[in-house]
Structure formats: C-alpha cells, structure tokens
Amino acid sequence: MVDHHHGDHHHGPAKGLGRWLFTTNHKDIGTMYLWFSFCMFILGGTFAMIIRAELFQPGMQLVEPEFFNQMTTLHGLVMVFGAIMPSFVGLANWLIPMMIGAPDMALPRMNNWSFWILPPTFLLLASTLFMEGGAPQAGWTFYAPLSTTYAGPSVTYFIFCIHVLGLSSIMGSINIIATVMNMRAPGMTYMKMPLFVWTWLITAFLLVAVMPVLAGAVTMMLMDVHFGTSFFSAAGGGDPVLFQHVFWFFGHPEVYIIILPAFGVVSQIIPAFSRKPLFGYDSMVYATASIAFLSFIVWAHHMYTVGMPVAGELFFMYATMLIAVPTGVKVFNWVSTMWRGSLSFETPMLFSIGFLVLFTIGGFTGLMLSIAPSDFQYHDSYFVVAHFHYVMVAGAVFSMTAAVYYWLPKWCGRMYNETMGKTHFWISFIGFNLAFFPQHFVGLAGMPRRIPDYALQFADFNMLSSIGAFIYGASQILWLYNVIATIVAGKPVHDAKVWDGAEGLEWTVPTPAPYHTFETPPKIDPAHAHS
C-alpha cells in the first residue's frame, strides 16, 4: 500500500520526469514532439554537413565512399521521419484541440505512446552506424536489391525501425481523425474549421492509407533477407521494379503528407499579417482534398526510367501535371490574400513569404520532372536533389519555422526577439538559396546524385553549394538560442492585439488568449472596440 501522507502519484500531477513520461496532456506531448524533432533536425543536419564537406571540392577528402552512402541514407531518413513529420505532429497536438475547442485529443493515452516509441526507435536507427558494416547504404528510398541481397546486417534493425515509426504515425493519425470528427465545439462545422485543421485531417487520412504499404514493402524485404523468399530477386522469379512500385505508392503520398500541414500553417499566418481573411477558403479545402486524391495516382513518375510502357508513362505524366492545378490554386489564394492587405513583415510572415516564393520554384522544377522524356535527362541527377529540397526545406521547414515563431508567444506567454528572428530569416534564406540553387545547374550539366566524388567542371558550384549549406546550418543555432532565450527570459506578452477580419475591428485581449485566430472571433460589444 502507498502511504498517502507521503504523496501518491495518482493524486495530483506527477512531478519531474514523471510529468513528461506519463503525460496525457496534448500541450506537453506537442512540446515533446517539437523538441524531439528539433534534435533530429540537428542530427540530420549534421549528416548533411558531412555530405557537403566531402563535396566542397573534387576528390576524396574526408570519408570513405561507404560512409558517405550511409550519410545520404541516414540524412534522408532522419529528416523525413525524425525532423519534418514529428514536428508537424507536435504542431497538430498543440493546436488542433484549441482550434476546434476540444479539451484534449480524443485518445490521450495512445497520444503518449505515439510519442514515446519515437526516441528509442531513432536511437536504434542511429546505432546502426556502429554496427558491423555500418548503417544501410541504399539511400533513404532503400531500393532492392541494394537493400536486400547486398545489404549489411544492420538492415534488419532498419526494417524494425520503419515498422515502429509507421506505428507511431498511424496512431497519431487515428487520434487526429477521431479528435476532429468527434470533438469540435458546437457550431464549428467542417467548413468553419481553421485551414490548419483541414490540412491535418486530410494528411491523417493519407498516413493511415499509406503507412501499411510501407510496412508491406519492408516486410517483403525482411522475408527476402531472412526467409528465402524472392519478392525482389529476379533470380528467384521476383522483380526489383516491384519494390519501386510498392515503395513509391507509399512514397509519393508521403511527400504530400510532409507538405500539406505546411500549407495549413501558411494559410493561418498569411491572413494574420495581411489583416484580412484567407481568400477563397472553400477552394483551399477542395484544392487540399484534390492534391490528396491525386497523390495516389502519380507514383510511377519516380520510375520513368525503368522501361514502363509508353501508355504508362503518358498516364503518370498527365496525372502528375494535373497536381500542379490545385497547387497553383493555393499559391493564387495566398497571393490574393496578401493583395491590397495591410501587410506587416514580422518573422513568421517573412518565413511564409519565403515559403511562397521558394516553394513555387520547387513546384515549377517538379513540373519539369513530370515530363517523361525530359525526366530521362534529369533522373538521378542533382537537379532532382535541388527540386525536392526547394519543396521540403523551403516548403516544409520554412513553414515549420514560421509556425514556431508565430505560436511560440502563445505556447509560453513570452515574446521572442524580433530582430534576431528577422536576422535568422535572412541568413537562412540566403544560405538555403546559395546551397540549393546551384544544384539545378550541376544537375542539368550531368552531375549524378549520391556520389562522394565528381568531375572537375562541377567544382565551383559545389563549393558555393557547400558554403550555402554551412550558412543555412549555422543559422539554426541562432534560432535555437532565440527560442530558449524566449522561454527562459522573454518579455511577457501582457496584451496581444487581435484583429477580426470579418468585422474590421481590433481589440485587446489578455494573455494567454491567441493573438492570431480570427476564424471564430470572441463576442464583443462594438461600442468598446477601437480601430
């Protein structure tokens, strides 16, 4: 029996470590997701720095080719599954209940587990670096037979990690779907939900649909490696191209899983700093749903070079080009929201506009890649690397950075240093473009991706690219400092001005009410409002 006079953790809140280990509070869990994903961002960034250091000049300088390949693999896996996805899940946990007026997530205990299986899983994934033969060397897409027939012993651990990460994603998504469908405040119909809630609801359905497909792919890998099957081995009647079909049937919706919550974030931030409601709310919802639907029927555009029938190439080409339409609708709506708005350029807005410009560039290079005969030239070149970093870094990461600056004062009741935030933006923006814009050029000139050495003619652009990457990486330390300084010693946000787009009124609300949501404005007496 517990002596109740000396504190029983079942009565009253848990203290210290227990508070974080056993919490069912959506805000605590959201915070843990955000900090964990930042740690993974730094780890994945470190792997990228090793890659860029090796490529700073031609020749083999720092690492063995095998280790270089381990870096490309782990950089991709850690950034996609460790940094970007969990960061947006953390955002969802923090914001969705508050945006829909729910007391917490629908399944709080499962929410806790969804988070806590992640840190040990990534510890296991990182530990493959120290195993015999090192981490997997097949790239983040781990194509068979490189990942099966020719894989090192660590591939088994990698497969297990992928299973567990998928489990976390599926549970988190079920939780979001259950919360949004069942726990909206009275009067909040679907078409009144904030755009961020919409994008996450649709993303959650994508995750539930495709994570089992990835699980199927790695299970077939496991069977090929350990149980004598030949799913992906031509020698036993299997087909390596089958792996690519199964992987990309997961992998293409996955890239939209990464970007849709980012779309939701900028759809909240741009109206706030334009001082007017989002232009074309309904069309944004329909565009998001269209993108999600189309994401399932474009997967083989990653595989134009495998020798599929021309009819297949044509289908996937047209389907892929079609995705540009709803995406263009979104860009149009964001620009229209800013058009003739009363704009101010605080840090979240700077990152959102940076997102808008750079994501659009990434969209156009994606349109280039969708054209099958052109893709024969671009495929597996640095042009592809440039393209997807413009949509993943300038898209997802810039948007996540905007979100942190935007909502941090709400999360901790303190204001960040605006000058430092703007400085972070400009260093990031310049570093990012210096790192990735030249990669379009070396790619079009024929430089293949995922190689540790290259021909002399690519030297200058690679040096620029590496310098830009180091600048971008260094700027994140400034961000980390700003966030910690804010939490520890930021100026308290006593009164935040809230602007209501519908009525054109401005009023003052006490902390910790949000200074950003005007989708459902509080009831106020217009006589007491001041413009």
CA 493/CA 403 separation, integer angstroms: 17
Contacts (Cβ under 8 Å, ≥6 apart) of 149: 224, 233
Whether residue 252 lies in the annotated active site: yes
Active-site annotation holder among 252, 276, 387, 424? 252
Ramachandran angles phi, psi of 525, nearest 5°: -90, 115
Q: Say which of 52, 184, 276, 301 is annotated catalytic.
A: 301
Nearest to 223 by CA among 207, 246, 206: 246
| Strands of 72-179, DSSP E | none
> What's the burial of 221, exposed, middle or buried (CB within 10 Å: 0-12/13-18/19+)?
buried
Q: Read off the tokens for 447.
A: 């430089």
Low-confidence ranges of the chain (pLDDT < 50): 1-11, 498-505, 507-519, 529, 531
- Selected catalytic residue, list 168, 179, 399, 428: 168
Q: Which is the catalytic residue, given 184, 276, 302, 516?
A: 302
* pTM (2 d.p.): 0.91
pLDDT of residue 500: 45
How far apart CA 444 and CA 437 sit, in angstroms, is: 12
In this prediction, residue 510 carries a pLDDT of 47
Q: What pLDDT does residue 7 have? A: 41
pLDDT of res. 470: 98
The per-residue pLDDT for 16 is 85
Identify the pLDDT of residue 502: 44
SS3 231: coil
Told to judge if 8 belongs to the known catalytic residues of this protein, a careful annotator would answer no
* Catalytic choice (256, 281, 299, 405): 256
Set 23, 148, 203, 267: catalytic member: 267
| Catalytic residue flag (residue 313) | no
Q: Which domains does the chain have, with CATH numbers?
A: 28-507 (1.20.210.10)
Respond yes or no: is residue 381 known to be catalytic.
Answer: no
| Segments of 399-469 assigned E as strands | 414-415
Tokens 């290259």 sit at which residue?
454
Instruction: Give catalytic status of residue 302 as yes or no.
Output: yes
What is the 3 state secondary structure string of 361-419? Answer: HHHHHHHHHHCHHHHHHHCCEHHHHHHHHHHHHHHHHHHHHHHHHHHHHHHHCEECCHH
CA dist 247 and 150 (Å) reads 18
Annotated active-site residue 19? The verdict is no
- Give the Cα separation of 370 and 155 in Å (integer): 32
27 is catalytic: no
Q: Report CA 67 to chain centroid distance, whole Å.
A: 26
Active-site residue, 382 included? no
Complete DSSP assignment for 422-435: HHHHHHHHHHHHHH
pLDDT for res 511: 45
Per the annotation, the verdict on 140 as an active-site residue is yes
Is 168 catalytic? The answer is yes
Helices (H), 193-234: 195-226
Q: Which of 104, 163, 233, 239 is catalytic?
A: 104
Whether 254 is catalytic? yes
